[in-house]
Chain A
């Protein structure tokens, strides 16, 4: 039996209580939401907190309201998000991302806040303690002189950002509220992420994600996920796309985000270049080629990295074609299957 190390356990009754417990607990205190990322990581000794602050009984952290702006409390389960007819209608990218996270059993406990803060992943890191010890561990410790097995000459960790909901929510322009004993602040979601596999979040350890807000602008959105099996597996690539078409199909706003190809969800800078244009075949292909250059998958997750890069281009193009209204049954094989899988399940 793999068992987490020793820790103290505090059941928070309110968000304020959780914030106080985190602040008093110091750097080795962690929030426990669904536990579906934290518990496996603790069993493998990737994380060894000495205090867990449980959010399970914090009712104020649960709930969805779609009333102009959409607000989702961070402790809402992924299953509740998948089952929300309003989210499905208004924010298909989030619906599709959430409905492809892990498995239905996991989504019953997993929360949106936990998904946004999910640890980065790497084939050399997401292993048992004994496995990692046998290769002398890696840059992420626990020994001080470990190397990065993916890029041994460098001094940074290239573990992959693996949240499915983060790219979707960044594409939708979401903002999030962080709360600590010192007060509250509000940031665009993309600013939560640092491009550093070993230290992927910019927020302080004592800050709690309390809510995620998506503006009400009318956009078309989608999320395409690459993984080996149709269930359970983390993304080997995620493409989230949101566009706001104006009169005559002229694009008024566009945000395209790549997941699982870097240590942070990558908001493609060229998204801006789509504004003022219409989605012709040429525009789509030119954009997909340029945007795929930002995808620099490394040999630290499932599938061959060169193939993942080629899929990035095909998914970027497929996602934009889908938003243009093309019939997915005309797409090339993998793109067709991916598009249809989204549809087959829930629509």
Chain B
């Protein structure tokens, strides 16, 4: 079995299908929906409600309570600014100012071309590298404004190239 097909078995539909009334399953199901689609759509909430019998309104209440869940899709590159204590005292504000300036988006926003989203996270566990930014799964530490600008511009170029090549295919 290739790893790709293996991953499919972890998808939201299968998790829903496997649901057999066990207690406390709502949050894992929501996590699975978000893992599969990148966000929690109204449709996903409807499905979960249908299968578990929990009212949509109650599910919605849980979704909005937890910071992890989002009801809108994120951009292709998610820029997470660490706002933990160490990063704060080491200049996280300068980091977010630079991103706002370079990408034209603020916290919790996604750029119009859907290439970038900016989020705030608390301590990502490498305070010795503060200030820290995580782009998708890549961590960048000991940042200065010029260093960060350079990194962001590389991502912009990458996004542009990817867009061009996908348009070329179409």
Partners in one complex: no
